[in-house]
Amino acid sequence: MSGLPTYYAQQMLNLHTRFGLSENARSLLRAHDDWKLGRISQDELGRIIKTSANMRQAIIDTITKVNNIMKKKPEEQKMCLDIIQACAEMLTALEKPAEIKGFPLMKLPVEIRRMVYGWYINAKIAKRAGAVAHPRILPKAPGCHCPQFVASTPPGHQFDLALARTDKKVRDEFLEYFYQAFRFHFTCGCELTRRFLNNDSMRQNLRNVKIHWSGTKSDEAFLLLARCPKLKELEVVVSKGTSLYLSKRETEMRRYFGAPKPAGRLPDSLGMDELLLIRGIERLTVSHTPLKVAARRAEEERASLDGLLQARLKLPRTGL
């Protein structure tokens, strides 16, 4: 705290009347006193001065007037210097840039915060295409040679999630909302495996997944899906390429029993055993891949797989 006399102490000494200070000058000295006593911030003091040219002129006029009084009446020097110092501090507040403070988002109720996240994402999407959110198709992993899965619906719009690079609490909560709000398409098991191993937040929060069952890492991919605690909706897309790679069990059996006929059965495909470990799915679909991506399997195979998965994957999740 400064040793300056307070505004009310100056009034008791009748300084304002004796020095002939204007009403604007008196208002400014009162605001300066409030700042010194912690009633207002320096930014607020600066705003009071910035909003009026008359207030700014009152500071200059007061300094000039009090300086002249000090020359004429040396006995008033101490009081005059106190007022001049107050005016100098007000000019400092005027010149100081206002502090930019972030909005206290985390103080809002969680329901409102989730609404804010939804508006943020939809605004990003609207900037790109003026459309509602579509399922997101994630790009292929480097070095992956699986066929690119093309959805029948438009691909998800790619946009920069700058909000995920802010405060850790905001980032975690926003990503949780983001991964739960969208349906994510994976072109193959390779892509899902790469994404999950590099992004545990995605694995922990995804609710809706569509995956083309193909690639050399289908078994790893389905094991990771089995460890998704919030996964509720799953669509498995099959094609002739699904059985291109064999399960470890089938590879071992063929060493001793040879290849079965017909070859390329779905039960022998890499990932079948791991797929059957998934639990807690509420909505399950097995579909064919688009013809322009890969050759389709027989409808009988798709229907049989659908029946098997409906019986197994909808069982309660017992633990991860």
**pLDDT at res. 156:** 45
Comparison of pLDDT for 138 and 229, the residue scoring more: 229
Comparison of pLDDT for 225 and 240, the residue scoring more: 225
pLDDT of residue 153 exceeding 50: no
Identify whether the C-beta of residue 131 lies closer than 8 Å to the C-beta of residue 154: yes
pLDDT of residue 158 exceeding 70: no
Rounded percentage of the chain residues whose pLDDT exceeds 70: 83
Residue of 183, 191, 205 whose CA lies nearest to 144: 191
List all residues 6 or more positions away from 201 whose beta carbon is below 8 Å from its beta carbon: 172, 175, 176, 179
Q: How many Å apart are CA 50 and CA 43, to the nearest integer?
A: 10
Q: How many Å apart are CA 196 and CA 199, to the nearest integer?
A: 5
- End-to-end CA distance of the chain, in Å? 60
**pLDDT at res. 47:** 85
Q: Say if residue 8 is exposed, middle or buried (CB neighbours under 10 Å; 0-12, 13-18, 19+).
A: exposed
**pLDDT at res. 269:** 93
Domain ranges in the chain? 7-95, 105-313
**pLDDT at res. 93:** 80
Looking at every residue in the chain, the average pLDDT score rounds to: 83
Identify whether the C-beta of residue 238 lies closer than 8 Å to the C-beta of residue 263: no
Identify whether the C-beta of residue 203 lies closer than 8 Å to the C-beta of residue 196: yes
Q: Say if residue 306 is exposed, middle or buried (CB neighbours under 10 Å; 0-12, 13-18, 19+).
A: middle
Q: How many Å apart are CA 150 and CA 139, to the nearest integer?
A: 11
Q: In residues, how long is the chain?
A: 320
**pLDDT at res. 138:** 56
**pLDDT at res. 277:** 95
Locate 181 and state its tokens.
């709000």
| 50-103 confidence digits (pLDDT tens) | 888 898 899 999 999 999 998 898 888 888 888 999 888 888 887 776 565 667
Q: How confident is the model at residue 7 (pLDDT cuts 50, 70, 90)?
A: confident
